[in-house]
A and B are shown apart, each in its own frame.
Chain A
Amino acid sequence: MATTQAAAPLGVRRRRRSWKGWQFVGPFMVVFALVFLAPIAYSIYLSLYKNRLIGGNSFVGLDNYQQALHDSVFWAAFGRVALFLAVQVPIMLVLALMVALAIDSGRLHGKAFFRVTIFLPYAVPAVVATLMWGFMYGSQFGLVGNINDALHTSLPDPLGSHLMLTSIGNIVTWEFVGYNMLIFYSALRVVPTSLYESAEIDGAGQFRIIRAIKLPAIRGALAIATIFSVIGSFQLFNEPAILRPLAKNVLTTGYTPNMYAYSLSFAGQQYNYAATVAIIMGVITMVIAYVVQLRGAREI
């Protein structure tokens, strides 16, 4: 729609204005090409080669892609982050939404205090947060160990193979609830209060207002937050990588796709295959993010 409307006048103007527009977007385009397009192009180039310790570098076409599509380690890692996405993201977003609605309701005492406290974990660097949680998860000398000692319980090891993904989900939720809350809250703030007043005059209760006015109004923000979370889940790296020294046998080198790409390139010197894995993961992420965006846009 928008393109057909704009096409005619743009064509006329282009001849007259010549390079003026480029002068404005030029600086951005240079940086964009340098830090975004060039690395992607280079990764694609890398993914078509294979560099061996014996035999050197050679062009292999799409062999790396073929290998990745049949790589059980890669798909296991993908399945893991997909599960993470399906469970952790809804929990986090619902929590964030509830907090945002509660703060926006205006019925909360110490609104600013809650807002800052819940946002605070996001200000803690992920590395520090994970180190802190890793210490609490310790079943020997950490908090879990202390609880076991004090209460003579035997809590399951949060860093064991059964609970690891949950433990990581807990850290990520703790970190990002505040961030998503802020996105929702700022979207709620721009809703004109006159709408609420007229709804109240019409006899709508608070929950009705949420359902009929607030949620539809922030649908765009919901879609954005979901896309961010999808990307964040697929790129899961910091938390498992930092917890790894505590539980190397559970957090394998291919625990998440990003960790897999990292260890392929840094421990195994397989830059080419790592680039392939990264590109495949990037394409999958783009497709899913696009689907989420389409859904979000359609429902507005």
Chain B
Amino acid sequence: MSRMLKVAAAATAAMLALAACGGNSDDKSSNSSSSGGGTSAADVTAALSKGGSITVWAWDGTIKDVAAGFEKKYPNVKVNLVNAGTGDKQYTALQNVVAAGKGVPDVAQIEYFAVLQFALSKSLANISSFGAADLKSNYTPGPWNAVTPNGGVYGLPLDSGPMAMFYNKEVFDKYKITVPTTWAEYVDAARKLHKANAKAYLTADSGDAGFTTSMIWQAGGKPYTVDGTNVGINFTSDAGSQKFATAWQPMITEKLLAPIAPWTDQWFKALGDGTIASLVTGAWMPGNLSSNAAAASGKWRVAPMPQWDAGGTATAENGGSSLGVMDKAANKALAYAFVKYASAEEGKDIRIKAGAFPSTTADLSSQTFLDTPFPYFGGQKANEIFAKSAQNVVPGWTYLPFQVYANSIFNDTVGKAYVSSTTLADGLKAWQEQSAKYGGEQGFTVK
């Protein structure tokens, strides 16, 4: 119920914001140097000793401890942490305050898929002059590429989501299902499990843009191409996209997917009681499982992501966020100091200790990190699998510069495949068309 309440609260808040919104961001091109705090690395040090207060919008639970640590280290600084909603809900609110020009936070959590959009609309500040560009070698390539579109630096990686398969070993053992290593085996396992127990499903999927794009990513697909304002959207003749559409279609047609919407209370309950026996998602998942599906603690395990080709090692990223400095931030130098603290300094260690999955190469290869046992996974050293997955992410993926909107219409288009006779391939085609239409309306040259 809590998630639905959150949604409801967000909807209500948005309704209220409806009245406030409207300022059409005519001043989008506002000069970034007009706000205080300076723009060089020296200014950051000065800002820290001078102190002040910054507002941070983030939904990640570990940021609270980071803020406390930051305030302890720099007693002059006060951090106002605001949870303005998760993902899309926060972006909606963020776009509203940017348009209104009032109440803009100094720092905001932005998922990788949305960085390009916020960078392009000049909502995020380019922080390279603060010295952010020098931090490149700290991070794995995937997250770093995501925060550095068009030659700027529009945030620092907070975490990453190299994908892996989480599965309920107890259920697998009970129905004698071997851990699938390819997607073909995965679909077979889904058939076997559902046949053995009509109430059990291998996984739940009711149409999720992030999952779909990650699956296409892993399959080597490149449906999106972005070159400045020239955008290409092509699912229909993209080999990876079609591979996914063909392989995943039987899961829908044969009703092998649990009819439970993800991220609802029902979903967590089903993950906890064995109704849903596996989940392919990002490495940030363990914390969610242990806190929301605690009933199954010790029963779950982690395995590498199933492959498109037997013996392969390819993976993709799913989710993961950055912390960015807003262009309208009152004190950018101080805001940057916080971002750096959370992403590259002590704040990062606080987050890893709290269960976050890092995007920093040093931590991913540190022995203590790799040897950490997960009680939820029966003591398994799951980080070994996640770290390996992080190394094998297929390069070259890019999201659209209007991915937030594209994702919002995913269920209108591809979602049809889950509730009607439309196929996934047709759904992807409709998604492509409507995304292209929007892109054209927004002034992009869409091919």
Contacts and interface: CB of A to CB of B under 8 A. Distances in A.
Contacts of A263: 408
B443 A53 contact: yes
Contacts of A266: 14, 92, 95-96
A52 B88 contact: no
Given A131-B1, A140-B266, A242 B7 contact: yes
Interface string B121-152: 10000000000000000000000000000000
Interface stretch (B37-45, B333-341, B353-361, B415-423): B415-423
A53 B12 CA distance: 27
B4 interface: yes
Nearest to B275: A140
Interface residues of B, number: 56
Interface in A38-52: 39, 42, 46, 49-52
B102 interface: no
Interface string B250-262: 0000000011110
Contacts of A242: 4, 7-8, 11
Nearest to A127: B8
A127 B261 contact: no
B441 interface: yes
Nearest to B7: A245
Contacts of A55: 443
A56 B28 contact: yes
Given A140-B266, A248-B207, A253-B408, A52 B92 contact: no
Nearest to B92: A266
Interface in A216-265: 238, 241-242, 244-250, 252-254, 262-263, 265
Nearest to A269: B95
A54 interface: yes
Nearest to A244: B7
Given A52-B443, A160-B419, A249-B415, A140 B259 contact: yes
Nearest to B440: A52
A116 B393 CA distance: 62
B120 interface: yes
Nearest to A142: B266
A103 B170 CA distance: 59
Interface in B5-59: 5, 7-8, 11-12, 14, 18-19, 21-22, 24-26, 28
B206 interface: yes
Interface in A127-143: 127, 130-131, 134-135, 138-142
A206 interface: no
A157 B11 contact: no
A53 B122 CA distance: 10
B404 interface: yes
B405 interface: yes
A49 B23 CA distance: 13
A248 B417 CA distance: 12
B414 to A, nearest CB: 9
Interface in A1-60: 39, 42, 46, 49-57
B208 to A, nearest CB: 9
Contacts of A241: 11
B264 interface: yes
Contact of A270 (B266, B415, B441): B441
Contact of A249 (B12, B418, B442): B418
B443 A249 contact: no
A166 interface: no
Nearest to A161: B419
A205 interface: no
Interface in A105-158: 127, 130-131, 134-135, 138-142, 157
Interface string B48-87: 0000000000000000000000000000000000000000
Contacts of B269: 141
Contact of B24 (A51, A139, A262): A51
Contacts of B182: none
A107 to B, nearest CB: 42
A253 B402 CA distance: 17
A268 interface: yes
Given A52-B443, A140-B260, A161-B420, A248 B415 contact: yes
The 9 closest A-B pairs by CB, nearest first: A54-B443, A249-B415, A267-B408, A52-B443, A55-B443, A248-B411, A252-B412, A53-B442, A249-B419
Interface of A: 39, 42, 46, 49-57, 127, 130-131, 134-135, 138-142, 157, 160-161, 238, 241-242, 244-250, 252-254, 262-263, 265-272
11 contacts: A53-B444, A55-B443, A134-B4, A242-B7, A246-B4, A249-B416, A253-B412, A266-B14, A267-B405, A268-B405, A271-B21
